[in-house]
Every structure is written in structure tokens, then in C-alpha cells.
Amino acid sequence: MCGIIGMVSKDDFTIQDAFKKLKKLEYRGYDSFGYFDKELLIKKTGHILIPKTKKLTRMAILHSRWATHGGVTDKNAHPHQSCDRNITIVHNGIIENYAELKNSLQKKGHRFSSETDSEVVAHYFEEKVKKKTMKQACVDFIKEIKGTFAILVMKNDDDCIYALKRDSPLVIGPSKRSNILASDIYAFSDLTDKAVFFDNDEFAVVDSEKYTFYNELGKPIKKTVQRFRWEQEESLKKKFKHYMIKEIMEEPIVVKRLLFSLKTEQKDNFERLIRLIKKQEKIVFVAAGTSYHASLLGVYYLHKCGVEAQALIASEFENFAFLDEKSLVIPISQSGETMDLIEALKYAKEHKAKIASVVNVPYSTIQRMSDVSLNIMAGQEICVAATKSFVNQVTILLSIAKEFGFKVNLDTLPTRIESVLGQKNKIKKIAKSISKKNDMYVLGRGLSYPVAREVALKIKEISYIHAEGMMGGELKHGTIALIEKGTPVISLISNKDHDMLSNTKEVEARGAKIIMITNSMPGDIRLQTSNDGKFGILATIFGQLLTYYIALERKLPIDKPRNLAKSVTVK
């Protein structure tokens, strides 16, 4: 889940220029960061700090880390170097056989200074180039290394960067006087609209004028240069204290943009997806985290139209999915690079299933693996918490369901969202009243059950409060034993759901502090919709705002919560 940058230029650039590009990838990990340009090595823990120095260089590699192997320390920060300091590397992924390799290298006299799996890469190349060229060493590396990797290698006596890829994302942004390597196109989207994507078990030799790709046997291969256009919001916070609240407030705008695109530039792909759903006999959504909750709403909407579908967690997909050529797998992802989803799609392809993805990042791995793909058009999300991307995922799913008979007027959705945002002061008061609690529960039934899970997830990841989202009908099967006097319980009640009312009364009778979110009866927050499809979106936005204001009360690092990263590119 780390972010990597490599820059090779004919012209001088400053360290600050390089760090600004790395800053764009900080959402991929912010445990530590590092920089190397043959003269200067920087390795530090914490969020990326742009150096004040005006030092110039023409080649550099950089890294933003999300820790997997080894603690969050300066020594474990990337870049890592060989014993002779001739080889310097940055790595995103996991070297599965690193222990075996490390033991072998130590027997040959190599000394390790970190606890990471990544450091073995630097020593591996140091050992190989004693007898082979770097190109030959890259071929051996792909053959001998087990695991996932996007790796950039600098050799002090070379004027190029060696780049290798398996499963972890890697792309080149070529321009007239430079080449930039990065984990995704966002790092260089302000400089070029061209991109060359690595496929698995490929490596490239990149200098300031050219790049040459090779397959796993070391034979040159031709690659397609793709032009991209990425709709994104200006990432400056401007008047907002945090990116999270900025991105929540953008939701009416991004919904309008998405709905327009489905009628115009994405119309053909949207119609292709609808035809696939009609043609294939089995529909299986696959996702993780927030996107999984969106997919559960998609299943609910389709079931209401008589279309059978199921949603599976990506990490358990192979254990529960039965697929064949008559199956349609629909992955939903913000980043388009989630490793568990990529593995699920490999499994789907092995079983000849069709793939129709819903993603936010164009040209991402998941989009490129798909037979057809829809872009959710949410723009760049800086905050780790998915907010506007979730809203647009569900808007696409509602649009699909509408084609199968689900009755909903999506044209009014942006104004309905604005009505929730207009209640932020009421939500702020609710947040303050429960901000010191350490446990809370969110109850839902039917459509509001996935929402309950999503709201609870947001509270956990951003507010650091134990929160459980659950089916109201399962309350009596154990969880009600945890309800004490004053325990906050958020009850999501759509269209006078009498069963949900009964569940609410059950916890209220045991002293719970009830917070009712409704659309057709008195409640703490009233949502302006009579349609349960839109209720699912609007109730989630309430949860996003509640989470934000709780975290604000608790003085937490809202945009960059501990231990989390935006893009989960490891298993």
C-alpha cells in the first residue's frame, strides 16, 4: 500500500518538486517517507514534510510507506541500500520468500540494517551484479522472487532507473524532457496526459529520453501509450479544516457529474453493462470495506426488481464463489488497485466469468482487467475515509436498478443530499453529546442494514470508537447483552418500518441513548425522501457527518487515521 515515485529528467528539478509529487501519493501510506538522488538520502517517520532546500538533481526515487514488515522507524523507512551503497531501492508489495533470501545473503556476508522484507531487494541486486548485468539481474529477480512488487532500483554508476512489477501498481508518465514512474497517474497528471502501464512480470529501463520494456525472459516488448483524462476536484482544502468535510460537501456536485456522464460519455458502457446483467445467469458483486457495503445496497436494489445477485467480500471470494462462463462478476473499488479484488478477478477469469467493474481511478488495474467498466466520477479523494466515492458507487447501483424497474427519481438526489448537509449543525450537537462514549451500535433492516455497517465502519476508522453495525433482527441474539444505560444506539428507520421501531424500543427499555434517523416520522434527523433507495445514500451521509464531528471533538487526525491507508495493495 506504499507509494513510490521515480524521476529522470534532462533538466534540473528541485527536491521540493519531487516531494510534491510524493505528497500526492501520501494517501497510500504515511508511516514514513524517504528520498534518494545519489547524493542525498532522507528516511523519516511520520507524514511527508517537504524539505526547504533548493538542491537540484536530475534523477531521484521516493517512497511513502504503509508498514507491513517491521515497525514504524527511521531504519525501516525506504529507500533501502546495499552494503556497498551502490544499489538503492524503493518497494511496494510483499516479498514472500524474503526470509529464505535474507538467510542466504547473510551467509554471503551481507549486513541488514532494517526489519523489512524490502531491504533484501537491495542486497539481492548487489550480489547479482557482481557477475551479471542489471538487465540479467532483473530477469533472475522475476524468476526467483515470490510475492508482489513494484520496485524502483538506482545504481550509482547508471543514469537510469530500473523498474519491476508484479501485481502492485506501476505506471510511467512520459513527457518531452522527462519520464516519471509512479504508483498511479495522479502523481504526474498535472504534467502529462500520457501513461504506459506495466503488466505483471515486466521490467523497464528508464532514462530521461526513453524507456525500454522487457518481458520476464528479458526480451524487449512494445507497449501502448495511453492518453488519459481524469476528472478530479481541486485538492486544496481552501476554507475547510479537513479534506474529509470538503469531500462530503462536494457530494451534490459529483452526483450531478456522474448522472450526466451516464447519459453522455459513459452511456455506451452503461448500456453494455445492463446487457451483460440481462445476459449472464449469475451476478456476483465483489468488494472490500466501504465498497462492500455499497455492493450490499446494490444487491438489495436488484432483488427488489427480481434480479438475483449476491455480494462477497474480496478476501474470501475464492472460498464462497462458484463461477462459470455464465457468471458476471462486478468488482466495486475506489482505487481500482485493491489486491484482494485483483486476486478475486484472476479467479473469475480462470473460471471464464465476465467482469464489469465500477471504479473511481481510470486505467487502474481492475479497470484494465474488465470487459466493461464504469467510472464513478467522484474525483480524487485525499482523506482515507471513503465518502463521496461511496455516494457515487451507490448512485451507479441505483441507476442500474432503475433500468430493471426500481422506481427512483435520481434527478432530485443532489438536492436531497444538500438537505442533509444543511442539517450539519444538528448533527454536530448529536456528535458532541456522544463523543466521549467508547461503544455504540447502529441498527438497520433491509436497505438500512448495509448503511448501519457503513456508518459503524466510519465511526471506527475515523473516530476510534468501537461501533457495531448490525441487523435489527439479530439484536436479541447476543448483542443486546452489551446495552447499558447511556449506550448510544443509532436507529435507521425508513418508511415507518415497524420491526425497526420494535428493535429501537427494545434497546431504549434497557437504557440506551437512542438517535433516530427517519424519513417519514419524527426523529432526531429527518431525511427528505420517501424513496428507500435514496434513504440509503442520505442516511450514510448523516453517518459521515456524525463521524467527522465526533472525531473533531476528540481532536483526532481525521484525514489520516492511524494504521490505515487509502489504497490496500497488499493481501
Q: CA–CA distance from 279 to each of 283, 328, 444 (Å)?
A: 10, 9, 33
What is the distance between the alpha carbons of residues 549 and 545, in angstroms, rounded to a whole number? 6
- Exposure of 17 in the CB half-sphere (CA atoms within 13 A): 20
Give domain status of residue 16, yes or no: yes
Confidence band, pLDDT 50/70/90 cuts, at residue 380: confident
The mean per-residue pLDDT over the stretch 134-150 comes to 96
527 shares a domain with 394: no
199 shares a domain with 253: no
The mean per-residue pLDDT over the stretch 353-367 comes to 91
Confidence band, pLDDT 50/70/90 cuts, at residue 357: very high
Does 52 have pLDDT greater than 90?
no
Question: What is the DSSP code (8-state) at residue 474?
Answer: G
Does 570 have pLDDT greater than 60?
no
The percentage of the chain sitting over the pLDDT mark of 90, rounded to a whole number, equals 78
445 shares a domain with 335: no
The mean per-residue pLDDT over the stretch 369-384 comes to 91
403 shares a domain with 387: yes
Q: What is the pLDDT of residues 95-119, one digit of tens each?
A: 999 999 999 999 999 999 999 999 9
Give start and end residues of each alpha helix (H) in 351-423: 365-368, 388-403, 413-421
Across the beta sheet with 3-14, the strand order is 41-45, 32-36, 56-65, 3-14, 178-182, 171-175, 194-197, 226-227
Catalytic residues: 2, 566
The neighbour count for residue 505, using CB atoms within 10 Å, is 12
Q: What pTM was estimated for this model as a whole?
A: 0.80
70 shares a domain with 197: yes
Q: Check residue 565 and give its pLDDT.
A: 63
Strand duo 171-175 + 178-182: pairing: antiparallel
Give domain status of residue 418, yes or no: no
What is the distance between the alpha carbons of residues 246 and 80, in angstroms, rounded to a whole number? 36
The mean per-residue pLDDT over the stretch 92-96 comes to 93
Q: Check residue 233 and give its pLDDT.
A: 45
What is the distance between the alpha carbons of residues 205 and 363, in angstroms, rounded to a whole number? 22
Question: What is the DSSP code (8-state) at residue 79?
Answer: P
552 shares a domain with 482: yes
Question: What is the DSSP code (8-state) at residue 199?
Answer: P
Give domain status of residue 111, yes or no: yes
Number of domains in the chain: 3
Q: What is the pLDDT of residues 523-563, one digit of tens each?
A: 999 999 988 899 999 999 999 999 999 999 999 999 989 87
CB-based contacts of 379, cutoff 8 Å, min separation 6: 231, 232, 233, 250, 254, 388
Beta-bridge mates of residue 439: 466
Which CATH number covers residue 116? 3.60.20.10
What is the distance between the alpha carbons of residues 430 and 343, in angstroms, rounded to a whole number? 41
Confidence band, pLDDT 50/70/90 cuts, at residue 398: very high
Candidates 449, 464, 508; CA nearest to 483 is: 508
401 shares a domain with 457: no
Candidates 417, 482, 473; CA nearest to 444 is: 473
Question: What is the DSSP code (8-state) at residue 331?
Answer: E
**Enclosing domain of residue 560:** 423-571
Confidence band, pLDDT 50/70/90 cuts, at residue 208: very high
